[in-house]
Structure 1
Amino acid sequence: MSSFQLNLNPLKEPLGFIKVLEWNLRKHHYISLSIFMTRKTNLQLLFETSKYPQIASIFAFATCGGFKGKTEIQVACLTNKSDNKTITATFGYPFRLNEASFQTPQGVNVCDVDWKSHVLIGDYSSAAEFYVTFAVFVFLYCIAALLLYVGYTNLYRDSRKLPMIDFVVTLVATFLWLVSTSAWAKALTDIKTATGRNIVQELLPCIQHRVICHFGSVTSMGSLNVSVIFGFLNMILWGGNAWFVYKETSLHSPSNTSTSHSQGGIPPPTGI
């Protein structure tokens, strides 16, 4: 409205009215174009931040941290070999197998053996907890990075330190994904051995032939296998993501800040 007040009466000078109308249309065109480009940039950043594996990190710690399983052994006494009893050892995250004792039906002693004093072998909590804790921290960092990219785009693009910090964190995260997943994969292999068929060769009552032991079953560890797969998948995602983050740093484009300023603005409309 101020544009019409500053110019001649459009009824007296039609050309002035047309020129003012043209200027207003151009002005709103530039504003609309600017809004569109801003939204497009934020949308592109949103898709770019999807390279942060939020979902992959969730699956990584959820498939490992929520696991519960058990291993069963069939035992029979020498006095009555046909009377089989099932003893069970329950285990789960953080996989301190040396704290998983065997339980008998109704809690009674089978073959005069105190099975509660016998436990599984091994403590793999360090590898499991390191893997899960790191995955949780990665998820929290992804959320913070997402808010920074989308909510504070200009702050990120105009800063020289934030992209560099992001790049260093990405490289460190890639390396730690490799270390934590490899350690957890080795621990998982040992867990399968400690809870599998070889368990009857480790139990003292079975070795002393006081009872006859036969391996029964063990809970499927497919979800734990998936956790290892997601660990290596996260490593690949973060390794690939390092290239995209690198392009935002001054190492790739020393004049990144000045370039963003020159390309970010839209030339104002010329005079009427």
Structure 2
Amino acid sequence: MCMVIFAPIFAICAFATCGGYYGRLQVKVDCAGRRQSNLSINIDFGYPFRLKDVHFNAPLCEAEREEIIFLHGDFSSASQFFLTVGVFAFLYSLLATIVYVFYQNNYLKNNRGPLVDFVVTSIFSCMWLVSSCCWAKSLSDIKTATNPTQVLLLISACRAHENKCTATQEPLWSRPNTSVVFGFVNVILWVGNIWFVFKETGWYKTGQRYPTRSASGKRNCEMRQRLYSESSFEQPDEGFGPQLSRQGSVNQQVNRQVSFNESQVSLTLPHAYLGKPVVYDRDSKVASQGPMIFVNEM
């Protein structure tokens, strides 16, 4: 969601503040003779910052003529690269927004959409980082090249001590500085979006499909299985079905522990055995067969 909302906005702010910049430097040359002085020399420059093509006329105080002076430096490659990345990032973010909102099913079909989005997002993250760093360095060089002190040194009349040369207006750098800030904000935004796009790919789901089990978890699982195997749910075979050896031991135990004095019988029920249905009379003979529960007397 952050990608859908903020990526187009920050991309517009980045390339708009860079591409729409226009700066002006104004200097004055006050010659000692006062005749050839020029108190208003305007030096205009802007995007794409080909300063070597920017020129202005300055008076020669020693003669009644002017000289043409060019600035130094060409920073068009860095500024154009930064602006191009911003424009393409804006277009792709708009396309991604349309796909996310209206074509969500096609986006997730066969997992192709998330994979393509992950690759493109990674590429734009690298391009934003490179272009922002290059533009920040170039902007620093542009400020140096248009520094009034450096420009006045290019004028021949200003090298003479009897002439006075000063800068009456300096360019404002708020917009290009803002473009650098928005460039690095886009870097953070696109790099952070890599994780969210990666979660939509099959790579993330494959890594979470078979989680590893720790040693303590394995021990807990084995303990549960052992307790379950020792519970009463594994005893049906002992209670049903004829077993001669089992029946003999049961008969002996009953003959030893059962008292026929009904007035003094006290019974407890710690264990119950469901054996073969047998009924005993007072002479310990089998009278009839039927369901019976044998009880151990404690």
So what's the TM-score if we normalise by structure 1? 0.69
The one-character-per-residue Cα deviations of 1:205-236 (angstroms, maximum 9, x if unpaired) are: 43366954223321211011000000000000
Change (3 A) 1:113 1:206: farther
Match of residue 163, structure 1, among 114, 131, 138: 114
- Matched letter for residue 150 of structure 2: N
Match of residue 68, structure 1, among 4, 22, 28: 22
C-alpha displacement of 1:122: 0.9
Match of residue 174, structure 2, among 196, 199, 222: 222
Change (3 A) 1:237 1:168: same
Change (3 A) 1:159 1:48: farther
Equivalent residue, structure 2, for 1:190: 141
Identify, as 1 or 2, the structure richer in strand: 2
Equivalent residue, structure 1, for 2:82: 131
Equivalent-residue separation in structure 1 for 2:49 and 2:173 (angstroms): 13
Indicate conservation of the 8 Å contact 2:29/2:157, yes or no: no
Equivalent residue, structure 1, for 2:214: none
Identify, as 1 or 2, the structure richer in helix: 1
Change (3 A) 1:213 1:251: same
Q: Which runs of 5+ in 2 are unaligned?
A: 209-298
Equivalent-residue separation in structure 2 for 1:57 and 1:134 (angstroms): 9
Greater shift in the superposed pair: 243-252 or 153-162: 153-162
C-alpha displacement of 1:121: 1.4
- Matched letter for residue 194 of structure 2: A
Equivalent-residue separation in structure 2 for 1:103 and 1:162 (angstroms): 58
Alignment of 1:1-272 (within 5 A): 47=1, 49-50=3-4, 53-80=7-34, 85-102=39-56, 111=61, 112-115=64-67, 117-196=68-147, 197-207=149-159, 211-254=163-206
Aligned residue pair count: 205
Equivalent-residue separation in structure 2 for 1:253 and 1:113 (angstroms): 77
So what's the TM-score if we normalise by structure 2? 0.63
Equivalent residue, structure 2, for 1:26: none
Indicate conservation of the 8 Å contact 1:89/1:119, yes or no: no
Higher relative contact order (CA 8 A, sep 6+): 1
Identity across the alignment (%): 40
Change (3 A) 1:187 1:66: same
The one-character-per-residue Cα deviations of 1:11-69 (angstroms, maximum 9, x if unpaired) are: xxxxxxxxxxxxxxxxxxxxxxxxxxxxxxxxxxxx35426610000000000100111
